[in-house]
Amino acid sequence: MEIQDIIFEILKDNPQMWIRYFRKTKHSGLTSPGEYIELRSGYIGSETFDKLLQEGFKIETIKTQKINADVYSDIFLKREVIYNH
């Protein structure tokens, strides 16, 4: 599935979710080549995780943080991409 379709499906199920997507083609610091998605939401359901895992993304980190009276989960996922030079 194309990345645009994946993001659209996530937002359709979770319209309040914040999503950031980026792609790295070379090693840069601690970041290796691949596609990355970062999610922030007060609630992230299992259907969202299932969609991402089925598309080849793997969980890199999960962090919970409190901002004022709100609590959020930040999830950072990566999908390996092989680039031919």
30, 60 in Cβ contact below 8 A?
no
Taking the CA atoms of 66, 19, 48 and 51 in sequence, report the sign of the dihedral they define.
negative
Per DSSP, the three-state class of 69 is coil
What confidence tens digit (pLDDT) does each residue in 5-61 have? 999 988 888 888 999 999 988 777 777 889 999 999 888 888 888 989 999 999 999
Q: What is the average pLDDT across 58-75?
A: 90
Q: What is the average pLDDT across 55-73?
A: 90
Which stretches of 1-85 are assigned E, i.e. beta strand?
18-24, 34-41, 58-67, 70-79
pLDDT of residue 82: 65
The residue extents of the domains of the chain are: 3-79
pLDDT of residue 47: 85
pLDDT band at 83; cut points 50, 70, 90: low
